[in-house]
Amino acid sequence: MTRHVYDTVIVGAGIVGAALALALRDSGLSLALVEPQTPVVPETDWDSRIYAISPGSAAFLQSMGIWQKFDVSRIAPVYGMEIRGDNGALLNFDAYREGLPQLAWIMESNRIQHGLWTALQQQSNLTIFSARTRQLSWSAEAGYLLLDDASELSAKLIVAADGGQSWVRSQAGIGSRSETYRQFGIVANFAVERTHDGIARQWFREDGVLAWLPLPDRHISIVWGTDDAHTQTLLAANPQDFADEVARAGNRVLGELRQTGAAAAFPLNFKRVDALVKPRLALIGDAAHSVHPLAGQGVNLGLRDAQSLSGVLLARGAADCGDFALLRRYERSRAGDIAAIQTVTDGLHHLFRHRNPWVAKLRNTGLALANRIDPLKSLLVRQALG
């Protein structure tokens, strides 16, 4: 058996893992990327998995030269946001009033991932292994990864970018605390009757949180976080009935809707991990945290992980890239951001799920009050921009 020796091995080539690998292209490190599933070439249909990419994340992708290669006809800028409580309260944000060209960009998951994957094929300091992981072990000097194709990799640093059910995190013995929201996030795309004007809309409803995200050419993507019974009802509905229900839930602000493509659903949960790093190990992306999608911050949080870890490694000087003291710099740099996003999203979820009428009055009053305090709105916008 031949052992392949690298400085860093990244397990998982989703958006976050691939972004980290690309960010380290000029690091002087030898890299390996382990990913059993090669991203497929996107079709013309809109991907049902959509992300709101913050300006901070866009700047990170731009710094790597990948943003400039995305098809602009598949990207929709967000010029404003309207958030409505369950009793009519309104909080809105406007890019123009904040002196910004846009608040975010709505992009398809598969096109981001395929763009990153294409760029990685030309990266001279990177070797890609299309295999599954089988065994992970450690010594004081390195981590050792055995793959199912019998390849054995050795690295000074192992990076877990393998998702919420991270195998690497489990093998490393890092504990996590999870809470299921007992909800699913339903995603689907629709053609709309009226132009959306680049406005993202979100409703806090008794049956969950519904978000409409603008896509190009009079299309929108939705994310509806709701309970299991409602999820099954919506997924079982025919396309016209499903579109009618989504239009009704959004007060028909864009007129009639027509479903394009299939709907899908994924479980919603919250996860905190006991540590982001151990000697010779770092966690990024969903392996490091999970949050409720109501604020659209999950992928941006992961990209900030990749940006922070790459920054630490690029500035390491003569230090070993898997040195625990070095990795602790990454962990400290991410602690506040992760805690803040998790606290806000989890708190809002529970606040708007509460059935006490006094709590309902308080949350809607707070939403309306925040809408009248311009400095507070600006602070919220700047935090979300990343």
Segments making up each domain of the chain, as ranges: 3-42+111-178+270-349, 57-108+181-269+354-385
Position 154 pLDDT exceeds 90 = yes
Q: What pLDDT, in 10s, does the model give residues 248-301?
A: 999 999 999 999 999 999 998 888 999 999 999 999 999 999 887 665 678 999
The third-level CATH classification (topology) of the domain covering 57-108+181-269+354-385 is D-Amino Acid Oxidase; Chain A, domain 2 (3.30.9)
Position 365 pLDDT exceeds 50 = yes
Cβ–Cβ under 8 Å, residues 288 and 275: no
Q: What pLDDT does residue 302 have?
A: 96
- Average pLDDT over all residues of the chain: 88
Residue (of 300, 381, 286) closest to 53 by Cα position: 300
Q: What is the mean pLDDT of residues 351-378?
A: 51
- Residue-level length of the chain: 386
Residue 329, amino acid: R
Sign of the four-CA dihedral 331, 334, 339, 345: negative
**pTM (two decimals):** 0.90
Residue 126, amino acid: L
Which residues on adjacent β-strands are paired with residue 129?
A: 34
User: In what helix (H) or strand (E) does residue 332 lie, and over which residues does it extend?
Assistant: helix 324-353
Cβ–Cβ under 8 Å, residues 175 and 271: no
Q: What pLDDT, in 10s, does the model give residues 230-254?
A: 999 999 999 999 999 999 999 999 9
Position 374 pLDDT exceeds 90 = no
Alpha-carbon distance values, 349 to 85, 267, 271, 302 (Å): 12, 14, 14, 20
Q: What pLDDT, in 10s, does the model give residues 70-89?
A: 999 999 999 998 888 766 66
The C-alpha atoms of residue 73 and residue 217 are separated, in whole angstroms, by 9
The third-level CATH classification (topology) of the domain covering 3-42+111-178+270-349 is FAD/NAD(P)-binding domain (3.50.50)
Tokens of 66: 């990948």
The C-alpha atoms of residue 93 and residue 371 are separated, in whole angstroms, by 8
Alpha-carbon distance values, 290 to 167, 237, 299 (Å): 15, 29, 10
Tokens of 151: 């390849």
Look at the block and give the residue holding tokens 């009053």: 365
Position 217 pLDDT exceeds 70 = yes
